[in-house]
Structure 1
Amino acid sequence: MLLLDFIRYHQHLPGTKTGCNEGDCGACTILIGELQNGAMHYSSFTSCLTPLGNVRGKHVVTIEGINLSGSLTAVQSAMHECTATQCGFCTPGFVMSLTGFCLSQKAATLSNAMAAIDGNICRCTGYKSIERAAARVAQILEPRNGTIPAQYAANTHILPDYFINIPDRLQALHSTLEPAQDVAAQPIGGGTDLYVQHHDTLKQKALRFLYDQPALKGIRQEGNTCILGAATTVADLMASPLLQAYFPYLSNYLKKVSSTQIRNMATIAGNFINASPIGDLSIFFLALDTTLVLSDGVKERELPLRQLFKGYKQLNKSPDEFITRLWFYLPSQHTLFNFEKVSKRTHLDIASVNTAISITMQYDIIEDIRIAAGGVGPVPLLLKETARFMTGKLLTESLIREAGFLLQTEVTPISDARGTADYKRLLLSQLFKAHFITLFPQLETAILIR
């Protein structure tokens, strides 16, 4: 069962709205709290895509669960006083997303408050009033100064007092939980894509929940290798100090991936297994020459990510296999990385074209280069011929221009809702140049002039 259905039709809490059922509108946003190292960590989720099994042993917070006795909360008051609500259908989702921001450790800035609602859509009020409400919420948080978020929220009428005791209640609950049974059934991670495609049929299937398995979590370094659990989420990637150290602009890349709510839910392995030709993480990790570890429950095998995609939605794996972890070599001091994506809107949209590049330089000579591109073929592509052509050559504007012509021979885009084939070819060409303008700004003038 989906968490949204459980909330509305079994717990009879109708404040969480049924909207798009695709994680797109944010009207069904709730908060999920879980114990991590003895402290509570809350994240916003779209309940329309969350299987009930993924919230086992956690604190599920709906709009009804934040209400104060006899008055509005500080977030609700900000929405009301800034006239940030009209029909009201989307309002619970906005309130929950901003309340989740109040429970996070993020700095009390307007940009962070607005980022918290990047997965919420309003169709009638207009965003300036909502932006003013978000600014007021950020101002309320400014004096927090390291106070435990739930404690501060309770003291400033953002949340009721019972939130302070949730860690003890969850600890007691966990002591009564038996280990989840591992069943031979369809594996599911965050569910952010499967429930869009198979919304009704999945509710009748036996599922094997992989999202919370400790063995499938975590990001760690072993020597010059980075190892990631398959159930690591996009939000986990963004928060990782290890990845931030090696990829300084990681947050800028991943903010282009869906929305805050979906990033809190979506797993790396799910993006790969979805096998979309424009999967953002598939393109990102292809450029890093990532290797997957797959298991059928008995034995494991390694498979380079570049060999996973056999054809459109066709994978080089058996039905019984699932990804347990993945690894790649961390960039050296001479290696540069960049990711580019263009879509019709900034958040909550799939790419028209996306591309990533990893390039290792020996002075001005290209020692090694990998270029990945999505939206220009039936599978996520590694542009091997273009990379082979550029390897060992002096990096110049002329080389980039010649390589730009060559990469067009490696792609076969089609016309669809995201653009014509010609448009996608032009877009890939421009994004290919954008890689070099970003990584080698001294080349910008020459590239743009030509």
Structure 2
Amino acid sequence: MNFDRIKEKLSILADAAKYDVSCSSSGSNRKNKDKGLGDSSGMGICHSYTEDGRCVSLLKILLTNHCIFDCAYCVTRKSNDIKRAAFKVQEVVDLTINFYRRNYIEGLFLSSGIFKDPDYTMERLIMVAKKLRLEENFNGYIHLKSIPGASDELMQEAGLYADRLSVNIEIPTVSGLKLLAPDKKHEDFMKPMLKVKNEITKNREESKIIRSTPKYAPAGQSTQMIVGATGETDRDIMYTATYFYKKYNMKRVYYSGYVPVTSDPRLPAITSAVPMLRENRLYQTDWLLRFYGFDIRELLNDEHKNLDVDVDPKLSWALRNMHLFPIDINKAEKQLLARVPGIGLKSVHKIIAARKHRKLNWDHLKNIGIAMNRARYFIICNSEGWEKKDLTSEKVKNLILKNSSSKFQKSYSPQLSIFDS
């Protein structure tokens, strides 16, 4: 093995993979068997974070950065003058095993540019996973990027060896995809997604009858959208995400801010990289939809096409619906409690448990740990003193923003927190 050449390939293809943010390992429960290598259950797997906050490490690389397509937003587009490289299948297998033995990684995230055609590329991705599982007895986490346009047969096989599969939809709308990636077809993204969804459903039903049924993509499938490369509103982006969650049972949708890595007249100016705050607001909205019971139309609609930059989406919704507040903290149902700004799901459960024994006052709520600088304007409890019934939504917003950097704010919850908003 030419180690200098392998190192050069690794440098090129790891750098090219950094723009893909959809590398989360939560959800897999593959066990170590026959004294093999690795175990994806109960362990974190590039430095990324799972839903429960675990920091995980993956070998995150492309099989190759050669590509037959010329997508305007992509660093590996065929017209881009960059260094090209390609791993052999066995080289990726050897890298994964050697890095794992040195405790550098806990799994593999493998994507690729498309060379020759989608099936040819997908076959090689599968060969890597298959060799790791069958020849190296590797039971760690494997995430394969599904290649748009790959056949159903290959997608079926991929899920037998990968813990998670994902197809990046890339651009949120069909019109945006036609503008920036005219060589690609929208249906080529949808077909493998549908196949994976159907196979997961089929596998779950079969495993109820036959316990020895081989697992199929046990960590589900995910997708990623580029934010800001075209003129989509936040509403467009989140309506597309909602569609994928409902139609294809996505485990996660990731939002990647446009990074100007190529020059093209169809793209925004080179200085217009998407602010991290917009990404953050989209993830907060995603969280509210998946865990807090919000309907997308409550957060984004014809009147509100973009998320508020100043405040998080739950607070923004509450300020637009002041007629629903204040609610009585000692009587309100769980779903309504979860809609109060400053009260996260953990706090909701603590409130419900505590009020079974006594009526709660402000001191109790502070001890529970809710973000009082926000919640105080939307609730009443078994106390007097902080209810402000004469405040308008604009006044409340200004008061919260004014106090956002104070010591009182820091004692409870960050303004941009996803988990306690």
Task: Calculate the TM-score normalised by the size of structure 2.
Answer: 0.28
Structure with the higher fraction of residues in strand conformation? 1
